[in-house]
Amino acid sequence: MLETPRKFTVVSGSAEGPSRLNAFDNALLAAGIGNLNLLKVSSILPPGAVEVPQLDIPPGALVPTAYGAIVSEVPNERIAAAVGVGIGADGDYGVIMEFSGRCSREEAEAEVRRMCAAAFEARGRALDRVIVAATEHRVREVGCAFAAVALWY
């Protein structure tokens, strides 16, 4: 079993690129996590994890990450991505919800807030607060919107 992360950082970014993969990579760079190896994980925040505003991880590190991303090649299309971290009133584990779509930043943010509330309700727990990172992008040629919660040690 891997060590349980003790820290988390919430990020978002959007960018253009000459290809779908380059747009995604550039959005990761804009979010501040482009030089890391992201390991996509499901959406539980470990108990006691502390929010740290900026990552302090060496390039190439393997980082468990819950994220939402969307890439589009439709000029002038509006795309958005958001993540929400639901924190319980009991101080126990939290939930992470990710969303991406063809919508505004505000719509994406509202959706992750709704999903965090629903996840807490399904678990029979009280939701204290939701931490959100969201971004919106208007596509020029190939664009990407990306939002993530990096879990680290």
What domain range includes position 31? 7-52+63-152
Active site residue 35: no
Spatial CA neighbour of 133 closest among 63, 88, 84: 84
Mean local confidence (pLDDT), 91-104: 96
Structural domain includes residue 118? yes
Q: What is the Cα–Cα distance from 11 to 52, expressed in whole angstroms?
A: 11
- Paired residues of 96 in beta bridges: 85
Indicate whether 81 belongs to any domain: yes
Is 72 noted as a catalytic residue in this protein? no
pLDDT band at 2 (very low <50, low <70, confident <90, very high): confident
Beta bridge partners of 11: 148
Q: Which entry of 37, 73, 106, 121 is annotated as an active-site residue? A: 37
Give the pLDDT score at 90. 83
> Does the annotation mark 43 as catalytic?
yes
Count of structural domains within the chain = 1
Q: Whose CA is closest to 98, among 147, 63, 136?
A: 147
Q: What is the pLDDT of residue 136?
A: 98
Please identify which of the residues 98, 109, 111, 136 carries the catalytic annotation: 98
Assess whether 100 carries a catalytic annotation: no
Would 33 be classed as within a structural domain?
yes
Residue 109 located in a structural domain: yes
User: Using an 8 Å Cβ cutoff, are 80 and 104 in contact?
Assistant: yes
Contact 134, 31 (CB under 8 A): no
Region 116-145: what's the mean pLDDT? Answer: 97
Quick: pLDDT tens for 9-63.
Answer: 999 999 999 999 999 999 999 999 999 999 999 999 999 999 999 999 999 999 9
**1 within some domain:** no
pTM for this prediction: 0.96
Computed from CA positions of residues 57, 58, 64, 65, in that sequence, does the dihedral angle turn out positive or negative?
positive
104 in a structural domain: yes
Q: Is residue 58 assigned to a domain?
A: no
Q: Tell me the two tokens of residue 133.
A: 């990172």
Q: Is residue 57 part of a domain?
A: no
Residue 138 banded pLDDT, cuts 50, 70, 90: very high
CA distances from 2 to 36, 44, 48, 59 (A): 18, 15, 17, 20
CATH code for the domain of 48: 3.50.20.10
Q: Which of 12, 43, 72, 100 is catalytic?
A: 43
Contact by Cβ (8 Å): 23, 16: yes
Q: What is the structure's pLDDT at 91?
A: 79
